[in-house]
Structure 1
Amino acid sequence: MADDALIETTLLDLVAERGAGKTVCPSEVARALGGPHPDGWGPLMQPVRRVAVRLAKAGRIAILRKGRPVDPDDFRGIYRLGPPASGPGSQSGV
């Protein structure tokens, strides 16, 4: 199984490739590491979430629900991953 360092690198690469204003589904990260079959990528969903939360707390990515940044310590349901908010009007520490 992929370790946290590989998940982090893959997640950051996919977010960077997608570019500003675009997001990545966490399952895309899991599929990039575990392959197309659910038996391969399914077990990676929780590790991907754990790494995403850590990166969001560090300000390296944003976790979004319905297009809005969420608190990395308190979110549920379907979420997307994107570049961190920056510039005027962005909320820091969200």
Structure 2
Amino acid sequence: MAADDTPVETTADGRWVVVDGRRWRASDPSIPEALRTELVGELMDARRAVGAARRAGDEGAERNARDRVHAANVALGERGHPWWDEPTATSRDERIAATIEALASRRGERTFCPSDVARVVGGDSWRRSMDDVRVVLRHMAGSGDVEVLQRGRRLGHDDEWRGPIRVRRALAD
């Protein structure tokens, strides 16, 4: 439903939402509702941040906010490779990275489990996505984009990652 409680029109195949006669790609319906809600919240926060940065004339903050909007859209399946097509290795990694970025931005210092990312990109077969998520996560940790923790201790991207890990946005030292 739309914000005013009117039903949202979708195409028969469920791939598109129709607003004022214009088609927009629908979110991936396989994303669990709690995670979809969180990603939509990040998208809305990022869109508000774009407007605030534009009004303040802060081009750097506006670029950062636009990057957040893009990451949330890709995570939701609304941009990038269509969610209904079989993903390529590259498009899968891009969606995993975007989901990590969006969740890390949304949660800030709070951590999340890599399985949340797998649930967003993998649907019902999310467990098969865990190895791909860890590969992308290791790369992002090596780039300093996120921190990976185990029992509260930050792991380096070269450390051995065994057992449960948690992720959060990179904090300033």
Q: Same fold (TM over 0.5)?
A: yes
Matched pairs, number? 83
Secondary structure, aligned partner of 2:99: helix
Secondary structure, aligned partner of 2:131: helix
Find the aligned partners of 1:62 and 1:9 in 2 and give their Cα distance.
15
Q: Which has the higher helix share?
A: 2
Stretches of structure 1 lacking an aligned partner (at least 5 in a row): none
Find the aligned partners of 2:147 and 2:100 in 1 and give their Cα distance.
12
99, 124, 139: which one aligns with 1:54: 139
Q: What residue number does 1:12 align with? A: 101
CA RMSD for the aligned pairs? Answer: 1.3
Q: Which has the larger radius of gyration?
A: 2
Write the letter of the residue equivalent to 1:77.
G
Q: CA deviation at 1:18?
A: 1.1
Find the aligned partners of 2:106 and 2:144 in 1 and give their Cα distance.
18
Task: Say which structure, 1 or 2, has more relative contact order (CA 8 Å, 6+ apart).
Answer: 1
Q: What TM-score results when the alignment is normalised by the length of structure 1?
A: 0.81
The alignment status of 1:31 with 2:119, answered yes or no, reads: yes
Report Cα offsets for 1:18-75 as digits up to 9, x if no partner: 12x201100000001122x3xx101110000000000000000001001221121222
Find the aligned partners of 1:71 and 1:58 in 2 and give their Cα distance.
11
Secondary structure, aligned partner of 2:148: strand
Secondary structure, aligned partner of 1:3: helix
The alignment status of 1:82 with 2:172, answered yes or no, reads: no
Q: What TM-score results when the alignment is normalised by the length of structure 2?
A: 0.46
Secondary structure, aligned partner of 1:72: coil
Q: CA deviation at 1:76?
A: 1.5
